[in-house]
Structure 1
Amino acid sequence: MSGLAGSSVIVTGGGSGIGRAAALRFAEQGANVVVADINTDAANAVVAEIEASGGTAKAATGDLSDQAVADEVVATAVNTFGGLDVLVNNAGIMDTMTAAADVSDAEWERVIRVNLTAPFLLTRAALPHMLAKGKGAIVNTASEAGLRGSAAGAAYTASKHGLVGLTRSVAVMYRDSGIRANAIAPGGTRTGIAVTADPAGHGPRVLSGYMQNVGRISEADEQAAAIVFLASDAAANINGVVLPVDNGWSAV
């Protein structure tokens, strides 16, 4: 992919799943990668993988929904690699497929905080550095649940719809400053994230009738390929797009 060699890239949730696959792909393209994750051991393991293949990476760990941590992740990229070219807001958590009437305050607040507030905090911290360079690419990992109401519970669905809105707002506000913001909307993907749901609950019972349309479960690297494309110069005129990577689920 053009334009990525020597670039400075942050990938959140980079210690596993789609984030790990994206971090490895960026490194293969010659990018310098900050692997950000709440799990220190996982982040360090991915950094070691990249370095063993001749790439350059650095770990940054902590809870990204904390403004101080978000600021530190961005500072790590800027101070270590001389700036920031690409931000991938990929870290996220699932809900328990709970319908709105049954969602606890704790579940709602945690899912929104991780899936929506953290990407906002990182984006806000990253933008001044991208604006100073006059260019930048932000890629968010949304979800099929950001396109429809039948792919997850109330908290997760709201968080991913919100992330789609954030993506489009940033695209509009900063397109004349050389900054692009896009998102992928993964369908079912093989990662380490487990969904804990009570099959007898109202939400899971309703949603089970729609999950037959999921189709083939994708591999994390298929999602990562779309992320790297959207961050690259090959997508230079793509801005404000939410790209389903779902084997056609969104077309059903």
Structure 2
Amino acid sequence: MTVNADLSGHVVVITGAAGDLGWGIAQACLGAGARVALVDLDAEGLAQRSGQDDERLLRLPCDVADSEQVRRVIDAVLARWGRLDVLVNNAAVVTPGEKLGDLSLEHWQQALDINLTGAWLMCKFALGPMRRAGRGLVLNIASQLGSVAAPGRGAYGTSKAGLIALARAIAVDHADEGVRSVSLSPGAVLSSRVLRRYGDAETARHMLASRYPVGRLGEVEDIAQMALFLMSKSASFMTGVDVRVDGGYTAI
């Protein structure tokens, strides 16, 4: 799927931009004419992902769980481009695969701090310029595990369910100010994170693909193109919803 979207002049802020999914969404936005702020705790990863200098890119190392760092990121974006049209909350951490009764408080808190509170902090500071402009979109990258449970993924799933609820709350609170808010819930995507867990693509497909009615894992492009659609004018009547791009996983 290739989405025909025009984001010329728009400014998109993407957290977790050093990862495969964040960078994939960034590339889709750049291809649609947007200016993109790449936000990630991994400064070296940001530099490697973005490659050559591009005046449409802004690289901003940030711990999204740190309120002051988040404030500085939004200030830097406004200082550079004077506007903020889309916030993509994609930063996430996956906690150890343990039953909830065995999970440490440290790992539980880490999942909530980064995946959920970090997203709220980004929203808190990004909503100001959006509300003043009377336009904007908050796009939370949630997960199929925000809607269904999986063994050993309780903290991660809880944080992603929170992202879905956060998107709905923002939609209800700020629709009258021109701000839309949606969540996008991917299924398993063939990314470096999945490859690290399973060793290689063939093993990942063997272990996971049969769980999906479509018979395959997702590709980064599947998610990036849906994100681009949700940013486009074609999705202007969509807010407060969770869009699942999960190959039918949650339909079973």
Deviates more, 1:228-237 or 1:127-136: 228-237
8 Å Cα contact 2:210/2:216 also seen in 1: no
Q: CA deviation at 1:48?
A: 2.7
User: Structure 1 CA distance, aligned partners of 2:16 and 2:152?
Assistant: 20
User: Quick one: structure 1 residues 50 and 138, their matched pair in 2 at CA, closer, same or farther if it must change by over 3 Å?
Assistant: farther
User: Structure 1 CA distance, aligned partners of 2:14 and 2:40?
Assistant: 9
8 Å Cα contact 1:34/1:76 also seen in 2: no
8 Å Cα contact 2:99/2:151 also seen in 1: no
Matches within 5 A, 1:10-159: 10-48=13-51, 51=54, 56-150=56-150, 153-159=153-159
Q: Secondary structure at the match of 2:60?
A: strand
User: Structure 2 CA distance, aligned partners of 1:133 and 1:6?
Assistant: 14
User: Structure 1 CA distance, aligned partners of 2:123 and 2:182?
Assistant: 12
User: Quick one: structure 1 residues 210 and 60, their matched pair in 2 at CA, closer, same or farther if it must change by over 3 Å?
Assistant: closer
Q: Report whether the alignment pairs 1:7 with 2:10.
A: yes
Q: Report whether the alignment pairs 1:192 with 2:192.
A: yes
Deviations 1:180-233 (A, max 9, x none): 001111101112225769xxxxxxxxxxx9995244111112111111111121
User: Quick one: structure 1 residues 211 and 104, their matched pair in 2 at CA, closer, same or farther if it must change by over 3 Å?
Assistant: farther
Q: CA deviation at 1:4?
A: 1.2
In the alignment, what sits opposite 1:213? Answer: 211
Q: CA deviation at 1:133?
A: 0.2
User: Structure 1 CA distance, aligned partners of 2:171 and 2:244?
Assistant: 17
User: Structure 2 CA distance, aligned partners of 1:96 and 1:137?
Assistant: 32
User: Structure 1 CA distance, aligned partners of 2:142 and 2:152?
Assistant: 12
Deviates more, 1:211-220 or 1:107-116: 211-220
User: Quick one: structure 1 residues 188 and 50, their matched pair in 2 at CA, closer, same or farther if it must change by over 3 Å?
Assistant: farther
Q: CA deviation at 1:154?
A: 1.3
Q: CA deviation at 1:97?
A: 2.5
Q: CA deviation at 1:62?
A: 2.1
User: Structure 1 CA distance, aligned partners of 2:17 and 2:208?
Assistant: 30
Q: CA deviation at 1:45?
A: 2.6
Q: Secondary structure at the match of 1:237?
A: coil
User: Structure 2 CA distance, aligned partners of 1:211 and 1:24?
Assistant: 26
CA RMSD of aligned residues (A): 2.1
Count of matched residue positions in the alignment of Structure 1 and Structure 2 = 238
User: Quick one: structure 1 residues 115 and 190, their matched pair in 2 at CA, closer, same or farther if it must change by over 3 Å?
Assistant: same
User: Quick one: structure 1 residues 152 and 135, their matched pair in 2 at CA, closer, same or farther if it must change by over 3 Å?
Assistant: farther
User: Quick one: structure 1 residues 152 and 168, their matched pair in 2 at CA, closer, same or farther if it must change by over 3 Å?
Assistant: farther
- Identity over the aligned pairs, expressed in percent? 29
User: Structure 2 CA distance, aligned partners of 1:133 and 1:126?
Assistant: 11
Extract unaligned runs of 5+ from structure 1.
Answer: 198-208
User: Structure 1 CA distance, aligned partners of 2:71 and 2:29?
Assistant: 22
8 Å Cα contact 2:62/2:69 also seen in 1: yes
Extract unaligned runs of 5+ from structure 2.
Answer: 199-206
Instruction: Name the amino acid aligned to 2:74.
Output: V
User: Structure 1 CA distance, aligned partners of 2:159 and 2:191?
Assistant: 19
What TM-score, normalized to structure 2? 0.88
